[in-house]
A and B are shown apart, each in its own frame.
Chain A
Amino acid sequence: MGIPTKQKTEHSSVPDDLFVPLNKDSAQLENIVRPSVGFWKDAWQRLLKNKLAVAGLITIIFLTIMAIVGPMLTPYSYSEQTLSNQNQPPSAEHWFGTDNLGRDMFTRTWYGARISLFIGLAAALIEFIIGVIYGGISGYKGGRTDNVMMRIVDILYGLPYLLVVILLMVVMGPGLFTIIIALTLTGWIGMARIVRGQVLQLKNNEYVLASKVLGANTSRIIRKHLLPNTMGPVIVSMTLTVPGAIFAEAFLSFLGLGVSAPVASWGSMANDALGVLNTGHWWRLFFPAFFISLTMLAFNVFGDGLRDALDPKLRR
């Protein structure tokens, strides 16, 4: 290939003999110079670039730590009543004030955080297990099995979720485990749908076929190829399940169907404050309301950031 003369004249300051062919081994060309960035590492790096999501994550970590150590920071227990100390505003002694039975609001708020976060995490975990198994089987088996399983899901999907929860609370009686069972009874459906959709899409990919040809059995294909690749949307869905469950618990406790006294939960604390708002005891509502909202905000922002970070379409 000759170099056009016109170009030659333009670069006349550089003599031709300085141009030497690059002497590179063909084997060397195949070397990967930079460390390969896997999907998870890449997603993590993109998550860290999203300031809002990082703030959400830090808030979640802070809330979790406070839920664990918060009730221990005060000399009071969550149910200890001091009737001489009713409705005290926040002070050095009672950081968040006291309620109408003289109970320390700081202790109760963080005790409530334990309940709320526990319900959120337990619901997310149970939904994850049921959803992945159900959706995985349905998507992988396909055909008639898939059809029947999805028709069942369709009908369950039509059930209004909070009505089922309320009905179950009536039948089983209020309590922490009833709430969790009630929440997961219909909650796994969304997860099962996501997993099924992913598995349906993935199982016809070439690398699955290649793995089959190489003699991998079904369980290996599901474990090594299908499940790891469905994890992105599943994790996002789990992150968004947590605020949903916390909201549902607060909602039920507010209706008087949640945890029963003296156990504190943010919803029941807000409900207790309903009658005393016009008396000017603002701290009774403010602290539970603020922390419900903060938790919901943190999980939603973090979940959104996670969705963006794990979205293969946005991957550069």
Chain B
Amino acid sequence: MLKYILKRFAWMILTIWVIITLTFFLMHSIPGDPLDVGDSGGSAAASENLRAYYNLDQPLPVQYFSYIKNIVTLDFGPSMTSRSSTVNDMISSGFPASLQLGIASLVFSVISGVALGVLAALRHNKMIDYITMIVAVIGISIPNFIQSMLFINYIGANFDFFPVARWGTWRHVILPALALSSGPMAIIARLTRSNMLEVLTQDYIRTAKAKGLSARKIVVKHALRNALLPVVTIMGALTASVLTGSFVIERIFAIPGIGQYFVNSISNRDYPMIMATTVIYSSILVFMMFLVDIIYGIIDPRIKLHTKED
């Protein structure tokens, strides 16, 4: 098991390094100089100073190594749009809101998705099954940015209970988290339902029934554990969709999070900020995939057998 975790961990580090390198060279392959766009009319000396400030006067390999060195110490350098603050300042001011929104969405989508899926499977071809499938279809077909526009216009505008602008109380989280989690929730619900339906026909479920176990124990101990394996597998991909979805959702709901900064940094060509957000989001994502692999290894005994063969 330890060997498996170490191997996965090494992969995670390697992937993050590849992402940092790719991002760095992609950003530096953009034709033109980022400073030419923002600073027309400055003196030559001022331009020199700015170049030195952003570390652009060095040859590319030197820049690359100093960037890597700074990232290892979690220093993302100065921002290009707001001269006074560093990227780290902006990230630490935006991170809490993004984290709240992301965690609320993930937790909500997993809990409601699994609950709906299990209920639908247990009441197969009954009312709740149809309702679940309709909710799932809506969640998959209507893009999250359209859902959030509908939420703002029809729920937020009519009920004071759900404020749609600014950020602060838990009530601010509900609507954006709902819009952000409906897609992943729909996928989880569908997957859980079909897996539960398959698992419930297995022989060991009949054996458990024959032993006289209570219905609750059969569902929780025998069926759910097996039905949730595929759900765990797609958690990495779902985290990715929540992360990228948050760019749009934060923009629509005017949430002061990193996603908002990221979108703004794209239109402002704030390269250090774009790189920092890319690296941070990728690292979170790769870390989630690492966690998924570990959890998968713990709940599925077949994975452990596989690593012994290696």
Contacts and interface: CB of A to CB of B under 8 A. Distances in A.
Interface string A154-196: 1100111111001111110000000000000000000000000
Contacts of B23: 167
Contacts of B157: 278
Nearest to B244: A162
A257 B269 CA distance: 13
Contacts of A160: 240, 243-244, 281-282, 285
Interface string B6-42: 0000010011001100110011011000000000000
A247 interface: yes
A154 B10 CA distance: 13
B248 interface: yes
Contact of B149 (A168, A171, A277): A277
Interface stretch (B106-114, B120-128, B134-142): B134-142
B261 interface: no
B149 A300 contact: no
B280 to A, nearest CB: 10
Interface string B251-269: 1100000000001001101
Given A162-B244, A171-B27, A278-B157, A251 B282 contact: no
A173 to B, nearest CB: 9
A116 to B, nearest CB: 12
Given A163-B282, A166-B266, A300 B146 contact: no
A236 interface: no
Contact of A171 (B19, B29, B243, B286): B29
B244 A163 contact: yes
Interface stretch (A69-77, A201-209, A217-225, A290-298): A290-298
B19 to A, nearest CB: 6
Contacts of A274: 149, 252
Interface string B139-174: 011110110011011000100000000000000000
Given A158-B15, A160-B244, A274-B252, A296 B143 contact: yes
A293 B266 contact: no
B247 interface: yes
A250 interface: yes
A270 interface: yes
B190 to A, nearest CB: 9
B14 A155 contact: yes
B50 to A, nearest CB: 21
Given A160-B240, A297-B137, A171 B278 contact: no
A158 B278 CA distance: 13
B185 interface: no
Contacts of B142: 289, 292-293, 296
Most A Cβ at <10 Å: residue of B146, B153, B289: B146
B274 interface: yes
A113 B143 CA distance: 16
Contacts of B149: 270, 273-274, 277, 285, 289
Given A155-B15, A166-B266, A270-B149, A293 B143 contact: yes
Given A160-B243, A247-B143, A170 B274 contact: yes
A161 B140 CA distance: 18
Contact of B286 (A158, A166, A169, A251): A158
A170 B269 CA distance: 8
A254 interface: yes
B306 to A, nearest CB: 15
A247 B19 CA distance: 24
A170 B14 CA distance: 25
Given A158-B19, A255-B251, 19 more contacts: A154-B11, A154-B15, A155-B18, A158-B285, A158-B286, A159-B18, A163-B281, A170-B266, A170-B274, A171-B27, A277-B149, A277-B152, A277-B153, A289-B146, A289-B150, A292-B146, A293-B146, A297-B141, A301-B137
7 contacts: A158-B282, A167-B274, A169-B266, A170-B274, A255-B251, A278-B153, A300-B140
